[in-house]
Structure formats: C-alpha cells, structure tokens
Structure 1
Amino acid sequence: MGTVDAAGVVDVLVQRLDEELPLPAYAQPGDAGADLVASRDVTLAPGERALVPTGVAIALPDGYVGLVHPRSGLAARLGVTVLNAPGTVDAGYRGEILVNLVNHDPARTARLHRGDRIAQLVVQRVERARFRPVEQLPESSRGAGGHGSTGGFTPADRSAPPTGPDRRDDAGESVTIYGCGEVAE
C-alpha cells in the first residue's frame, strides 16, 4: 500500500459497501476531487443536517489524508454543503465515509437521491509537525492580529433591499444576494 506511480498517482484501496454504487471517481482529467455519492435518499429541511453514507470505505497510505469538500453546484442550486468542510479522513480510518451535509437554504427543502454526487474527496500528502513549547513566539509582520484584522471584509447592510439586477434560480424563484458586490452577467 502507498505505491505512487511515475505520474504521481497514489493507490488507494477501496472497499465497496454497496456493490451497486460507483467507486469514487474524477469527473474530468485534472480534477482534484473524486466524486462521492449518497448511498440512500436524504431529505433536508431548511437548517437540517444529516450524516449521509457513501457506500465506500478506504485505506489511505500513511502520510496521506482524504479531505471531503463540498460540491459547488449542490451549494449553488440547493444551498446544501458539507457542514465540517473539509471533513477529514485520516489514513488509519477504515469505516464508511460519511458526509455531514447541511441545508443552508432558509426556505426550501432539499431532496437528494441514492447515487447523487454529494461531495468530493481530495487525497493529498500531509506533513507531520512536532509541537515544541516555547515561552515566547518570534515576531512577525502580522503579529497576533486575526479574525478580520487584515481588512477586506465589510458587513452587508441588510436594512435596505439589495440593489442590482433581479436574480432567479432554476425554479424561477427570486434570489436575494447580500454583500457579494457586482454579479457578472
């Protein structure tokens, strides 16, 4: 286990827990994330979350991690994303990959079906760290500033309706966009 070929592709052992579902797979050449699918139907009311099984378990080589990322289309169309993004699949974990999904849409229920692509698995090398206690950290240009201290964030003013062109989703419902700046046509 842990074999890497000349192209830099690492072997990951996969146990199918549901023979009818596909193995994790890359949709396009050069994609970073391999698609994971739901092994059962899931209905998520607004604000609801669920651990969704994928029908696969993996054995990653030591020195690698699997990161479970959201699918951008699922978030854009339905408001559904991975709650703990990215989810971490450690090299020693051998259980079924479960995806913690949440419906952030304030009004619409999301329905996902068995076999729907629900997340992407990115496999990458990890560096191990040695944590050494010290009395004081060395100085840096940033210092201890955090949580917006470098700027670039302006809270959205939600006291007035948004300006800009009317937006509608695929179902023809009006979409309100706050604090996103200009929307390209």
Structure 2
Amino acid sequence: MSEVKKLNVRIKKLHDDAVIPQYARAMDAGFDLVAVDDVLIKPGETKKVPTGLAFALPEGFELQIRDRSGVASKTKLRVSNAPGTVDAGYRGEVSVIMDNISQLKQGIVAGEFVFIDGRDALGKEHDRGSYIIQKGDKVAQGVIAIVPIAQFEVVDELDETERGTGGFGSSGVRA
C-alpha cells in the first residue's frame, strides 16, 4: 500500500465561527467548506458565501472549490465557477460563489423557501425557489491540487495527432 502524501497548509480564522476544514472520511479527495453567515439566494441570483477562512497555500499548489455532490443533487444551488481556483499567492477570505439555477416563478409564497438540507422554512415570505444557506452549512468542497507552471514556446507548427483539430462533439455522441 502506498504512503499518503501530506501537505502543510496554514489557515487563518477571520471569523470566530469559522470551521476548520476537515475530510469527512479517510481517502476523501475533498474537505468541507462551511458557511460562516446566513445567505439567501433567490432564483437566478449569484451570491458569495463566506467561509471566514484565509489560506496560505505553498507555491505550486492551488485550492480548487467544487460542488458537494449532495448539494448539487438535492438543490438548484451550484458553485458558479466550478472548480473555482484559490491561488497560492492569495491571502484574503475564501468565499464560495454560488448560483441558484431555479427558474424565477411569479409571486411571493409561504412554504417553498428551502434550506440547503431540504427543510422548508414555513411561515416566511420569500420568492419561490429561494434557498437559505445557514451559518454552519457545508456548502462546497475544497481540493488541494498541484499546479505546474507552464513555460510557453511559440512554434510555427504543432505535431499531428489522431484528433487533430476536431473540436466539440468531434468524437460523436453515442458509444
């Protein structure tokens, strides 16, 4: 069995309620990123969800921010720029940019306002299809990745490959 590679990543809590990232299970690639504030995201809106954390990644690494599969499969919330990149040189607060891809429905109603875990917020007025992310909700996952630095070389010709210049859909859509 191979030895697990470990990387020291320094983090700074910018908010008293910030949650130190943890891996849910052994061998998970991603660790949980947790909201530090309540955030309402109406249909069609994009909002930043603060984590209250700043990271000091070693040079040559990035923090990728990705959807949590449970959130993506059970809600209309998506990480907007997935995977988002936090560069090694950035020292500010890490936020998760989230989109509510629900279709805007006319009217304000009670009982269709949904928490990220699927519970309804009964008795509150809100736009249909809205979601509330509560402080303490796991909203995304972070993955630390190695980033090689490219050295670009301008050439007159590129080598030939089987694919060549075939672009989107060039391999067909059926197996």
Could you tell me the TM-score, scaled by structure 1's length? Answer: 0.76
Residue of structure 2 in register with 1:16 after alignment = 13
Structure 1 residues not aligned, in runs of 5+:
1-5, 154-185
Deviation at 1:102, TM superposition (A): 0.3
1:117-175, CA deviations, whole angstroms, 9 ceiling, x for partnerless residues?
Answer: 1111100212121111111211111011111111227xxxxxxxxxxxxxxxxxxxxxx
Deviations 1:53-91 (A, max 9, x none): 110000000111110011111111111010100000111
Cα RMSD (Å): 1.3
The 3-state SS of whatever aligns with 1:74 is helix
- Aligned pairs for 1:5-154 (under 5 A) are 7-106=4-103, 108-152=129-173
SS, match of residue 75 in structure 1:
helix
Taking structure 2 as the reference length, the TM-score comes to 0.80
Report runs of 4+ in structure 1 exceeding 6 Å deviation.
none
**Secondary structure of 2:136's aligned partner:** coil
Query: How big is the shift at 1:51?
Result: 1.2
Q: Which amino acid aligns with 1:72?
A: S
Structure 2 CA distance, aligned partners of 1:110 and 1:77? 12
Structure 1 distance, partners of 2:25, 2:4, is: 16
Give the deviation of 1:20 after TM superposition: 2.0
The number of equivalent residue pairs is: 148
Give the Cα separation in 2 of the matches to 1:30 and 1:18: 29
Counterpart amino acid of residue 13 in structure 1: R
What's the offset of the Cα at 1:47? Answer: 1.3
Conserved 8 A contact 2:33-2:142: yes
Tell me, in whole angstroms, the C-alpha distance in 2 between the residues paired with 1:151 and 1:7: 39
Q: Distance in 1 between matches of 2:173 and 2:103?
A: 27
Q: Residue 30 of structure 2 contacts residue 143 of structure 2 at CA under 8 Å; is this kept in 1?
A: yes
Q: Which amino acid aligns with 1:31?
A: D
- The aligned residue for residue 180 of structure 1 is none
Deviation at 1:46, TM superposition (A): 1.2
Determine the C-alpha separation between the residues in 2 that align with 1:148 and 1:46.
Answer: 31
CA distance in 2, matches of 1:77, 1:126: 32
